[in-house]
Amino acid sequence: MPDATTPRPLPSVLLFSVVPVASWFIVRPLITPVPPLPALHVSVGISMLTLLSAIYLVPALGPTFVKANLKGRDLLKTYNTPIPESLGLVCACIYILSLIIFIPFAFSSISLSGSHTQYTVREGIIINEFPHYQLSVYLSSILSILVATMLGFLDDVFDIRWRHKLPIPIIASIPLLMVYYAERGNTNIVVPIPLRPVFGALLNLVGPLYYLYMSMLSTFCTNSINILAGINGSETSQAVVIAFSVVLNDLLYLPWPSDFRIPVYLLGSRSEVEIGGIWSAGMAYGSRELVERHLFSLYFMLPLLGVCLGFLYHNWYPARAFPGDTLCYLTGMAFAVVGIQAHFSKTLLLFFLPQIFNFVLSCPQLFGLVPCPRHRVPRFDSDTNLLYPSKALFMKPPSGLSTFVLRIFEALRLTELTTHPQTGVILEATNLTILNFLLVKLGPMNEKRLTQTLIGIQIGGSVLAFTVRYGLAGLVFDGDRR
């Protein structure tokens, strides 16, 4: 199959039709009448260009990566051709450059005359201030993402050990935490109703605790994407679905020019949700702060969606390029940044349901109860071209605790065990990842099908997340939906 590793052809006509559309979005705010949310127009335009850049630069730079020894064999294929690895770096460069180029648009006089300017009223005097605070937050966010990218790439080049890897996202989140600390930020989190008798309505996680929560969030977001990897397109498609979910969630809070209603009571809520009306509608219910938070999130998520979609074109089965750890760290950190800075970390975690499931499932292997081989990807059978669950082999009989946990997992049909016919001692267990779980549950399938199933689950998780967030959140939290 020599054609499987040549770069995918680029549909030039289709792609170049994107350029005028993107240019229109970028130029539009300069034409009077200035549209509401001018910076968002620019962001949409830039995001289209990031998609285009990713689609063109990834195959163009592939050979350079192979030459620099950043290459890998595809373990689940019959051919042996080296595939360029770590191309998440190209995505990262495009993404970060687009975020930097966006700064003057977000903070120019045109944008500021609209949504961003803060009119501080002090003793009756209205002062029109430049949003320095927002700029600091924006810059520290880019800084965190860049540190994560850098460390992800170092991981690819130096192949850092698992134990040394874990603190990487903590280091990357330092700029965020530092700015939070320097600004003496609001470290309250809203406590769910059942726990209020214990903690009170607003838990002020003073000092270390809240910072711990934030760095744990960064650690979780980056590593959970990284461990749900191994088949073509898995990391990238997760990022695409999560980014798309965050964008959808953000859009709910924007001041739409027209007024319309969504009958959320169908989803189990007690009331309808009104969306629309300038500054006075959307889920923000007139809160300028909420609108700005979600605009901030959009400015980071739209170009991320752009690069990831562009990269997915080349990373799709059979993959012509691998993302490397760089893409996992980049996307994970970007999600953590918007979750923290735009204050919707709980909603964000809901979009990570498949990752949480995969993490919990992996725990026995991550914490040493079950042997953890170097690669836990499914086993490829070249005769049938199908994937089968891969297995972890017990070199010595498992301890009582390991047996207990594995028996429970087996009862829940999360793993398949091979036991000694006489003694009943566990000899092998399928590796504890969501991919192997799917193969146990649904039977062997080919790689493309498995990726599609994974995407389906991720989308299903997001639908569930929206239901929980806007349908059921009323049961757990009261009206203050932030």
d(C-alpha 277, C-alpha 417), whole Å:
58
The amino acid that residue 127 corresponds to is: I
Q: Does 132 bind a second copy (CB under 8 A)?
A: yes
Sheet containing 417-419: which strands, arranged edge to edge?
391-393, 426-430, 417-419
Q: Does 140 bind a second copy (CB under 8 A)?
A: yes
Between residues 182 and 212, which has the closer beta carbon with respect to a second copy? 182
Stretch that binds a second copy, among 127-135, 226-234, 238-246, 374-382 (CB under 8 A): 127-135
Q: Which residues pair with 262 in a beta bridge?
A: 273
Q: Does 100 bind a second copy (CB under 8 A)?
A: yes
Stretch that binds a second copy, among 27-35, 139-147, 221-229, 263-271 (CB under 8 A): 139-147
Q: Is 98 helix (H, G, I), strand (E, B) or coil?
A: helix
Residues 6+ apart with CB under 8 A from 325: 86, 88, 152, 153, 155, 156, 226
Q: Taking CB under 8 A as the criterion, which residues in 166-185 touch a second copy? A: 171, 174-175, 178-179, 181-184
Q: Does 66 bind a second copy (CB under 8 A)?
A: no
Between residues 97 and 251, which has the closer beta carbon with respect to a second copy? 97
Q: Does 476 bind a second copy (CB under 8 A)?
A: no
| Secondary-structure breakdown of the chain: helix, strand, coil percentages, each rounded to the nearest 5 | 60, 10, 30
Q: Does 58 bind a second copy (CB under 8 A)?
A: no
CB of 43 to a second copy, least distance (A): 15
d(C-alpha 477, C-alpha 288), whole Å:
22
Long-range contacts of 404-408 (CB under 8 A, 24+ apart): 405/364, 405/369, 405/370, 406/364, 406/370
CB of 209 to a second copy, least distance (A): 17
Between residues 63 and 397, which has the closer beta carbon with respect to a second copy? 63
Between residues 67 and 288, which has the closer beta carbon with respect to a second copy? 67
d(C-alpha 471, C-alpha 190), whole Å:
18
Q: Is 347 helix (H, G, I), strand (E, B) or coil?
A: helix
CB of 184 to a second copy, least distance (A): 8
d(C-alpha 67, C-alpha 18), whole Å:
32
Between residues 19 and 101, which has the closer beta carbon with respect to a second copy? 101
Q: Does 68 bind a second copy (CB under 8 A)?
A: yes
The amino acid that residue 88 corresponds to is: G
Q: Does 161 bind a second copy (CB under 8 A)?
A: no
Residues in the chain: 482
CB of 430 to a second copy, least distance (A): 33
Pairing of strands 118-122, 125-129: antiparallel
Between residues 270 and 374, which has the closer beta carbon with respect to a second copy? 374
CB of 182 to a second copy, least distance (A): 4
Question: Number of residues in contact with a second copy, rule: CB under 8 A?
Answer: 47
Q: Does 201 bind a second copy (CB under 8 A)?
A: no
Q: How many helices (DSSP H) and strands (DSSP E) are in the chain? A: 19, 13
Q: Does 133 bind a second copy (CB under 8 A)?
A: yes
Q: Does 327 bind a second copy (CB under 8 A)?
A: no
39, two tokens: 């910076």
Its sign, for the CA torsion 16, 22, 27, 32, is positive
Q: Does 56 bind a second copy (CB under 8 A)?
A: no
Tokens 């994974």, residue located: 454
d(C-alpha 280, C-alpha 270), whole Å:
21
Q: Does 135 bind a second copy (CB under 8 A)?
A: yes
Between residues 140 and 402, which has the closer beta carbon with respect to a second copy? 140
Q: Does 321 bind a second copy (CB under 8 A)?
A: no
Q: Does 478 bind a second copy (CB under 8 A)?
A: no
Stretch that binds a second copy, among 22-30, 104-112, 236-244, 317-325 (CB under 8 A): 104-112
Q: Residue from 14, 121, 126, 127 that binds a second copy (CB under 8 A)?
A: 127
For residue 147, give Cα distances in angstroms to 1, 159, 217, 333, 398: 39, 17, 16, 9, 40
Closest listed residue to residue 159, CA positions, set 364, 374, 457: 374
**Which residues here bind a second copy, judged by CB under 8 A?**
64-65, 67-70, 89, 96-97, 100-101, 103-104, 106-109, 122-123, 125, 127, 130, 132-133, 135-136, 139-140, 142-143, 146-147, 149-150, 154, 157-159, 171, 174-175, 178-179, 181-184
